[in-house]
Amino acid sequence: MTELKNDRYIRALLNKEVDKTPVWMMRQAGRYLPEYKATRAQAGDFMSLCRNADLACEVTLQPLRRFDLDAAILFSDILTIPDAMGLGLYFSEGEGPRFERPISCKKDVDNLIMPDPEGELQYVMNAVRTIRRDLKGEVPLIGFSGSPWTLATYMVEGSGSKFFTKIKKMAFAEPQTLHLLLDKLADSVIAYLNAQIAAGAQSVMVFDTWGGILSPRDYKDFSLQYMHKIVDGLTRHYDGQKIPVTLFTKNGGQWIEQIADTGCDAIGLDWTIDIKEAKARVGSRVALQGNMDPSMLYASPERIRQEVATILEGFGTGNGHVFNLGHGIHLDVPPENAKVFVDAVHELSAPYHR
């Protein structure tokens, strides 16, 4: 067991007292940092960067050298599981991820392999082990996965989508096929996240990027029930420590009570819900992570600080708040603005924890 020098993030997720509100940023390791661009160029391409444990560790640690962050997050991609299932992931310049062999019928689902986290996905576990070693207990390491629904959208559409017609066609015309796929994905995510925990992840997060495109009834049917299955299947204690679980559904503010019912420790909020309202609705049942609009980082330092102050005031006194952006940091945000954001959270939050 490694003693954490800064355990604010873990304590906040578990609704324990902290001296300041902890802060990290989704996609904090990425294209807005010049040092990341240099390391990616060294790797050759994105997936080569993900598969090289030393380089994945390097980009994970880069933002911690610039900013006073309270957590590191594994550098990887949510599509590692579908890639390991044999769909042939590749990245087109300017077009994002694509699959050579998308899912179109039940036979395709039946033929999917269930990846071994220490086999086809061992490169991810090697990255986790390397990052944990090099963090030396400075801050906790977050592991993550995409949600079954979000992974399925890419696997069926074959790429990102604006209208999600293929996945919704499957949902409504062949629901049994989609449920079979989602169930396989949930089992794979459980194995994948538990392996990350065994390799050294001290908290895990499930990103449901596309849950918000569903109706309330369909969200529960095709997304939430499978995240609930994941929460039930995760290793919640490891090496003498509680392993907090955070669920994040983009545009999912209308469902936070149901998300809390899964038994997760924290809910990630995007910027479309007021954090004061969210806290009033779920109370202290779960911690809340969020929720500044990432585009606010284009603003002046004074405006960024003002927005941080407003969100802190909205949450108010008490435990259970991890400050974050409502989604990933944009690639053209000036790094100095990200520093203003992080420093403002620590400076302005202290009075709320006396």
SS3 state of residue 304: helix
What is the structure's pLDDT at 188?
Answer: 98
Beta bridge partners of 141: 72
pLDDT value at residue 103 = 98
Binding-site residues sit at 27-31, 77, 154, 209, 327
User: Is 40 part of the annotated catalytic residue set?
Assistant: yes
Strand pairing category for 321-322 and 245-249: unpaired
Query: d(Cα 302, Cα 318) in Å, to the nearest integer?
Result: 26
| Residue tagged active-site, from 7, 8, 32, 77 | 77
pLDDT of residue 1: 54
Respond yes or no: is residue 236 known to be catalytic. no
Residues of the chain with pLDDT under 70: 1-2, 94
Q: Which two tokens stand for residue 253?
A: 């503010």
Q: Are 260 and 296 in contact (CB under 8 A)?
A: no
* 3-class SS of residue 295: helix
Structural domains of the chain, with CATH: 8-353 (3.20.20.210)
Report the first-to-last Cα separation within the chain, whole angstroms: 30
Q: Which one of the listed residues 7, 8, 9, 27 is annotated catalytic?
A: 27
For the chain, the 3-state helix, strand and coil shares in percent, each to the nearest 5, are: 50, 10, 35
65 is catalytic: no
How far from chain centre, in Å, is Cα 162? Answer: 21
Residues 6+ apart with CB under 8 A from 217: none
CA angle, 153 as apex, 150 and 157 as ends, to 5°?
160
- CA 303, CA 307: separation in Å to the nearest integer? 6
Of the candidates 32, 36, 154, 192, the residue annotated as catalytic is 154
What is the spatial distance between Cα 322 and Cα 10, in angstroms, rounded to a whole number? 9
Annotated binding site for substrate: 27-31, 77, 154, 209, 327
Whether 303 sits among the annotated catalytic residues: the reply is no
Q: What pLDDT sits at residue 92?
A: 73
